[in-house]
Amino acid sequence: MKTIYLIPLIPVFLLSCSEKAEVVPAAKQNTNSVSLSEEQLKNISLDTARLVAEEEDLSLTGKISFDESKVGKVFPLVGGNVIKVTVALGDYVHKGQLLAIIRSTEISDLQSQYSVAQNNEAIAKKNLDIAEELFKTNVNSETQLLSVRNEYSRSQSEVNRLQQALSVYGSNTQNSDGMYNVYSPMEGYVVEKNVNEEMEIRSDNGTNIFTVSALNTVWVLADVYESDIAKITLGDEVEVSTLAYEGKIFKGTIGQVGNLLDPETKTLKVRIVMDNTDGLLKPEMFAVVKVHIGHPTKSISIPSSSVLFDNNKFFVMVRKDKTNFEKREVVLGPVLGKNTYIKRGIEQGEILVTEGSLLVESNNF
């Protein structure tokens, strides 16, 4: 009788266990899904995964330099002793403003020659007047008159020559002090000054004594390694940062790509023209240049703020419907500022959380 009762109980017990396993199947529970209330949804921001052309940043080093098209270098045309310097380094000057005065024996000699030439011209003019009167009374011949006229013409030419020479040196023909005035060739800042009072200057010295530059635009000269030359093209947009202004970004474009490599560094120079209306960028400042490079390859791009890092893996919170979200693992590509490229895990058009991802993940508002 005991055997008769035990046999029918075995399948009943197994059936009961089977039914309980199907009611709560632990393997089928989706622990990556989160459901939010309408109130919680107000605390998050969403964006869409987009298929875009890949970009990358190429980092270069360089320095701020003068805009050579707006630089005037001042060389003395004569030698002599510097009597006075009227400007200091960094001063703003106007075109034609006096920068320095040099006492020059060359100028003094020209002024003396000019004075003598003026006297000779005056004498030649008187001789010509007398010769013309004598010719009218037939005392002098025509040949004699022409000879006197030629002498007067030569004296005039000598005066004109010396006037032009003194004009080139900027010296006044009325003076005889031997002073040579140095004037600014343009409006701008005195960015170089290689002269002081009482200094002796030689006319054959090839060093400029002043450099004046308009700093409303400057150049950034950056070095490109040989392996990166193919990535650089004329007109590429760049961002420039300096040690002096931490966190401040200056924008520009590549205006010129060099043709010759530096034989020692194996780098190519690129030139970036920068607007400097505010005067913040100073020549010789160190600069870091980021070049934005575009590629024909397209990849999924999402905001960098969407990415979560957990247990050495990267995740995003993807919206399944209006209130449900899924924590999904992704494989990252390059990170470009506020955007991150995704290699795997997200499809174009999927909507994901950009702000509040951690709150969604923990469902803890």
Identify the pLDDT of residue 363.
65
The reply to whether 196 and 147 lie within a common domain is no
The reply to whether 117 and 140 lie within a common domain is yes
Identify the pLDDT of residue 289.
94
Identify the pLDDT of residue 21.
37
Asked, for residue 3, whether it belongs to a domain, the answer is no
The domain total for the chain is 4
| 63, 219 contact by CB (below 8 A) | no
For helices 142-168 and 105-136, angle between their N-to-C axes, nearest 10 degrees: 160
* 130: CATH: 1.10.287
| 253, 272 contact by CB (below 8 A) | yes
Asked, for residue 11, whether it belongs to a domain, the answer is no
Nearest by Cα to 206 from 323, 114, 64, 79: 79
Per-residue pLDDT of the chain (365 residues; tens, 9 = 90+): 344 343 343 343 333 433 443 333 333 334 578 888 878 888 888 999 988 877 777 889 999 999 988 999 999 888 899 999 999 998 999 999 999 999 988 888 888 888 899 999 999 999 999 888 888 888 878 888 899 999 999 999 999 998 888 888 877 666 777 888 899 999 999 999 999 999 998 877 778 999 999 999 999 999 999 888 888 888 888 999 999 998 899 999 999 999 889 888 889 999 999 999 888 999 999 999 998 876 667 888 899 888 988 888 999 989 998 888 888 999 998 887 788 889 889 899 999 988 877 777 666 44
| Last residue of one domain, picked from the residues 123, 151, 177 | 177
Asked, for residue 88, whether it belongs to a domain, the answer is yes
The reply to whether 168 and 114 lie within a common domain is yes
b/e map 219-247, b = 16+ CB within 10 Å: bbbbbbeeebeeebeeebebebbbeeeee
Identify the pLDDT of residue 295.
66
* 320: CATH: 2.40.420.20
The reply to whether 238 and 271 lie within a common domain is yes
The reply to whether 312 and 355 lie within a common domain is yes
Asked, for residue 144, whether it belongs to a domain, the answer is yes
The reply to whether 287 and 348 lie within a common domain is no
Residue 276 lies in domain: 58-69+213-296
The reply to whether 287 and 157 lie within a common domain is no
* 206: CATH: 2.40.50.100
The reply to whether 98 and 168 lie within a common domain is no
Identify the pLDDT of residue 1.
39
The reply to whether 289 and 239 lie within a common domain is yes
Maximum CA pair distance of the chain? 181
Identify the pLDDT of residue 9.
38
Asked, for residue 111, whether it belongs to a domain, the answer is yes
Identify the pLDDT of residue 338.
84
The reply to whether 122 and 49 lie within a common domain is no
| Last residue of one domain, picked from the residues 129, 161, 177 | 177
Identify the pLDDT of residue 322.
85
| 41, 319 contact by CB (below 8 A) | no
Identify the pLDDT of residue 361.
67
The reply to whether 268 and 232 lie within a common domain is yes
**How far apart, in Å, are the Cα atoms of 328 and each of 31, 64, 121, 334?**
11, 46, 101, 19
Asked, for residue 22, whether it belongs to a domain, the answer is no
| Last residue of one domain, picked from the residues 211, 233, 259 | 211
Phi first, then psi: give them for residue 261, nearest 5 degrees.
-85, 145
The reply to whether 39 and 147 lie within a common domain is no
